[in-house]
A and B are shown apart, each in its own frame.
Chain A
Amino acid sequence: MTSAREIGEAAVREDVRTRWLLSAPALIIIFFAAIGPLFIMLLYSFMVKGDYGDVKFWQFSLDGWFKVILERDIFDDTVTLADAHLSVLWRSIKLSLATTVLCLIFGFPTAYFIATRSERWREVWLFLVTIPFWTNLLIRTFAVQELIRNEGIINSLLLRSGVIAAPIQMMFTDFAVMIGMVYVFLPLMVLPLYASMEKLDFRLIEAGYDLYAGRFQVLRRIIVPLVKPGIIAGSILVFIPALGAYVTPRLLGGGKSLMLGNLIDLQFGQGRDWPLGSALSITLMAMVMIALLIYVRSASGTGARHG
C-alpha cells in the first residue's frame, strides 16, 4: 500500500531528477570547456616536456614541478633556487598586495562619499563606478599606457613645458604595472565597499560623537568595524584578479616586469615547457584558492556576495 508520504517522496525524487536534467547542459559545457581541462593540465604537469612544446605522452617526471622553484645547473648538476621564477612569484605577490592596499586607500573614501549622498545622487555616482567596471579591460589598460609611455601625453606635456629634458621612463617598470592595476581594479574595491556602507546606521556615528569621539575615532572604532565585510570582500576581489593579471603586466610591464601570468604564457610560447607552465598555473590557482578560503572563513555568516 502506498501511503501519502511515499507519494510525496516520489514527487520530490521526480522533481530532483527534473532539476538535474535542467542543469545538465550548463554543467556539461562548464565541465568540458572549463573544469575538465584543469585536470588534464594537472596530468600534464607531471609529464616529460616535448621537444617542440606539448609533452611526451605517458612519460612521467617531476621536472615540471621541480623547476617551479629550483634550477639544475647544466654543467655540474648542482641544484639552486630558480631566482628568475622566485622573483616573478615575489613580484606578483608584492604588486598584488600593493594594488589591494592602494585600491583600499582610494576606494574607501570614494565608497563612503557615494554612500553619504542623497538617494538619487547615489545611483548616479554608482553608475559612474559601474561603467568602467564593465568596459573592456584591454582598452582601459591601453588608456593608461597612452598616458605614461615615453612619447605619451604626460611626457610630451612635461617636455614641452620644459620641466624635464628627457622623457621619464615609466613604462616597463613595476610602478607602471601597479598604477595600471590600481586603475583597472579600483571599481572592484568600491562596489563591495559601497554595498556594506549603504547599510551603515548613521545613528551609531551620531552616538559616537555624542560620547565625545573625534572624527578619527569614529572612523576607526565605528565605521571600519561595521564595514569590515565590505573591506574584506573588496580586498579579495582586487587581490585575486591582480594575482592572476596577464593583460596589464603584459602591456605596461613588458618583458621587464613579468608577473606570474606572463611567466606561464612564456612557457607555452617561447619557453616550450608545458609541464612547467602547467605546474606554474596550478601554483597560481592554489594561491587564489587559499585567498578565497581565507575570505570564506572570515566572511562566513555575513552573507557577503560576489559582485
Chain B
Amino acid sequence: MARGFAIKRLPGFATVAIVCFVVLYLPIATLVAYAFNSGMSIAIWEGFSFRWFVAAWHNEQVIETSLRSLNIAVIAASIATVAATMAALATTRTNPYPGLTFKYAFINQPLMVPEIVTAVALLIFFSRIKVWTGYSGLGYLIAAHTAFCIPFAYLPIRARLESMDLTLEFAAADLYATPWQAFKRVTFPLLWPGILSGFMLAFVISLDDVVITEFVKSGGQDTLPTYMLGQVRRVITPEINAISTVFLILSVLIVTLFFFVSRKKL
C-alpha cells in the first residue's frame, strides 16, 4: 500500500468531528461547572462552592419529587422488565407463527408514536377513568411508564435471547427437567445480563420522562423532571444546575454500567 496517501482521510472531516464533540459536551460542561458557582448567577462566575448542592438537599420539593421519580421508575421498570422478558421468550427462537409480526409491531408501538400524542391520549383516557372510579393515585403514572418502558426493556433481552440457541434447553429436557426447571436453571442464568440491561434501560427511560408524566400526573404528583420543567421558566439560580448535575451523574453511571453488562459475552 502506498505510504503518504491516507485513503481513509477526507479533508476537514476530523475537524468537523472534533468540533461536534466539543459542542456536544460544552453546554453540559458549563451547566455542571456553574452548579459549583458561589454566586446567584448561572452566567457570572463568582467562586467555587457547594452551596447550591446543599440548597437542593434542603429543598423539600426536590427530595419529594426525586423520591417519587425513583419510586415510579423502580416499579415501572420492574413490571416492564418481567413483561418484556416473557414477551421476548415468546417471540424469539421459533419458526414464524401467526401473530408474530403483530406482536413485534405491538410491542414496539410506543417507539413509533410521538410522545406528545401518547401523552394527550392518556390524559383523555385517564381523566375519564378518574371520573368513573374516583381513584387518582400514582397508578396512572406507573401504568403509563410501564407501557413505554416495555419496548426499551425488550430490545436487549431479545438481542441476548437471539444469540442463545435451544441446545442447552433441549439437553435439560432430555435429563427430565420440567420446562420451569429448565428455565430457572438454564435459560434464566444465561439470559440474566440481558434482563439486567433491559431493566437499566427501562429505569433510565422512566426516570427521564417529562412529556407523558407532565400530562398524566394529577395535582401534587410532580416527578423530578416535571418539577424542573416548572422551575426553569422562573428566575433561575444555580440550584437547578446542582440538581441537573446529580441527575446527570446518576444517568451516566447507569449507562456506563449498561455498557459493560450488555457487552458481557455468552
A interface residue numbers (CB < 8 A to B): 12, 15-16, 18-23, 25-27, 29-38, 40-41, 44, 54, 106-107, 109-110, 112-114, 116, 125, 127-132, 134-140, 142-147, 151-153, 155-156, 183, 186-187, 190, 202, 205-206, 209, 215, 218-219, 240-241, 243-244, 246-247, 250-251, 261, 264-265, 268, 274, 277-278, 281-282, 284-285, 288-289, 292, 306-307
Contacts and interface: CB of A to CB of B under 8 A. Distances in A.
A40 B123 CA distance: 11
A145 B31 CA distance: 10
B175 interface: no
Q: Which of B21, B27, B215, B252 has the most CB of A within 10 A?
A: B27
B28 interface: yes
A137 B244 CA distance: 11
Nearest to A106: B20
B164 interface: no
Nearest to B243: A139
B179 to A, nearest CB: 9
Nearest to A39: B121
Interface in B38-97: 41-44, 79-80, 82-84, 86-87, 89-91, 94, 97
Contact of A26 (B125, B150, B204, B240): B150
A193 B10 CA distance: 16
A73 B27 CA distance: 46
Contacts of A277: 120
A37 B124 contact: yes
Contacts of B17: 109-110, 112-114
A54 B240 contact: no
A26 B123 contact: no
B225 to A, nearest CB: 5
Contacts of A37: 118, 121-122, 124-126
Nearest to A285: B117
A107 B124 CA distance: 38
A16 B76 CA distance: 28
The binding surface of chain B is classed by DSSP as: helix
A16 B34 CA distance: 57
A107 B20 CA distance: 8
Q: Which of B99, B118, B126, B255 has the most CB of A within 10 A?
A: B118
A29 B251 CA distance: 26
A138 B28 contact: no
B210 A135 contact: no
Contacts of B87: 22-23, 25-27
Contacts of A129: 24
Given A20-B90, A29-B150, A30-B150, A113 B116 contact: no
Given A130-B259, A143-B244, A306-B111, 6 more contacts: A30-B107, A32-B143, A34-B110, A34-B144, A153-B43, A268-B123
Across the A-B interface, the 5 shortest Cβ-Cβ residue pairs: A244-B114, A113-B17, A33-B147, A143-B27, A22-B90
Interface residues of B, number: 92
Contacts of B112: 288-289, 292
B127 interface: yes
B7 interface: yes
Nearest to A143: B27
B186 interface: no
Interface of B: 1, 5, 7-14, 16-21, 23-25, 27-28, 30-31, 34, 41-44, 79-80, 82-84, 86-87, 89-91, 94, 97-99, 103, 106-118, 120-128, 143-144, 146-148, 150, 154-155, 204, 207-208, 210-211, 215, 225, 228-229, 232, 240-241, 244, 247-248, 251-252, 255, 259
Contact of A268 (B31, B43, B98, B215): B215
B114 A156 contact: no
B28 A54 contact: no
A25 B16 contact: no
Contact of B121 (A19, A186, A281): A281
Contacts of B82: 25
Contact of B12 (A33, A109, A307): A109
A18 B27 CA distance: 50
Contacts of A21: 90
B10 A215 contact: yes
Contact of A25 (B27, B28, B83, B248): B83
27 contacts: A19-B89, A19-B94, A23-B103, A26-B87, A27-B103, A27-B107, A29-B80, A29-B150, A30-B110, A33-B147, A34-B113, A34-B147, A109-B17, A113-B14, A125-B21, A136-B244, A142-B244, A153-B43, A155-B43, A215-B10, A247-B210, A247-B211, A268-B215, A281-B117, A281-B120, A282-B117, A284-B116
Given A147-B30, A240-B114, A244-B116, A23 B86 contact: yes
